[in-house]
Amino acid sequence: MDPKTAPKIENNKIDTARTTSADAIRAYGHRTHVVGEAIAHVVTQPVSAELSIAVAEDLATGLATIEAFAEDSSADYIINGGFFDPNNGKTTSHLISQGQTIGDPADNERLVDNLDLSQYMPQILNRSEFRVYRCRSADADVANATTYDITFHDAPPPDGCRVSTAIGAGPQLLPIDTSETEAFIDYDNGTLIRDAIGSLQPNARSAIGLYPDGAIALIMVEKNASSSGMTLLELADFAKSLGITKLLNLDGGSSSALFVAGQTYFGLADAEDNPVRRPVKSVILLTQPDR
């Protein structure tokens, strides 16, 4: 590699602005990227890594912090997952684990009975999700193959495959932005009249992405005194610069958090720059394949 184009790496930090090749910054594990005025954490794991989801079971709130999820798991990496209603602790995103539905936004009365959202409800209930497929092999002696995808909830799985795990969120940011399709934003005669998740403003962000070879990326962007946060467009551009070709936005803002081998990075800070530890409904757990 030409030393003039090599990424600058200090204390596990990479200055992405100095890097001209996506391959140069593709590495399995956790890396911290400085992207303009923003700090982004990226975890990359091969397709052979074990991915699952977990849902909070607290009887009082229905929510749990990332640290609480970590205490109950042996996963190497954990990132916050889908959207939820903090008032009743119920999910507003689809959740499937081991082939069974464990969370359905249609069961959240505060969502489906909200008259302000009634015109958008078909789109909301068909928002995008990250899926784990189990696919039959043509060889009876070969175990079922595992593949990943990002698609709409109502999209059928490929022939010979079933949805083993899914976690909804949205919108898709790569290969295209589906914000309007999924009713995150809406326009009236060209004027923005709805922006449900502040997509146009820099904020803490979380996302899960796929490389062309099926490898997985978890991304968490900080917003605090040291980091500006990102808009959804900036998040998509950053992921694309890493070689990621499919990207799903997760619940961001104060929900953003990433657990990495015993340490938790939080997306948002308060006025005193203390990390905001917001309890969430669901998380994505990722375990390295060599364990």
Query: Tens digits of per-residue pLDDT, 188-241?
Result: 999 999 999 999 999 999 999 999 999 999 999 999 999 999 999 999 999 999
Q: What is the pLDDT of residue 20?
A: 35
pLDDT at 89: 96
Question: What local confidence, expressed as pLDDT, does residue 291 receive?
Answer: 66
Name the residue among 183, 259, 285, 250 with its Cα closest to residue 30.
259
pLDDT tens digits for range 113-157: 999 999 999 999 999 999 999 998 766 555 688 999 999 999 999
- Which pLDDT belongs to residue 26? 64
The string of pLDDT tens digits covering residues 244-258 is 999 999 999 999 999
- The confidence band for 23, taking pLDDT boundaries of 50, 70 and 90, is very low
Q: How many CB atoms lie within 10 A of CB 69?
A: 24
* Residues ≥6 apart with Cβ < 8 Å to 93: 81, 82, 83, 84, 103, 105, 127, 129, 167, 168, 169, 170, 251, 282
Under the banding of pLDDT at 50, 70 and 90, the label for residue 13 is low
Provide mean pLDDT across the span 163-192.
98
For all residues of the chain together, what is the average pLDDT? 91
Question: Would you state the structure tokens that stand for residue 283, as one six-digit string?
Answer: 């998380």
In the chain, where are the structural domains located? Answer: 8-287
**What distances in angstroms separate CA 104 from CA 140, 164, 267, one per listed residue?**
34, 15, 26
Nearest to 104 by CA among 58, 61, 166, 170: 166
Q: What is the dihedral of CA 11, 13, 14, 15, to 10 degrees?
A: -100
Question: pTM of this prediction?
Answer: 0.90
Mean pLDDT along residues 166-170: 99
Give Dmax (Cα) for the chain.
60
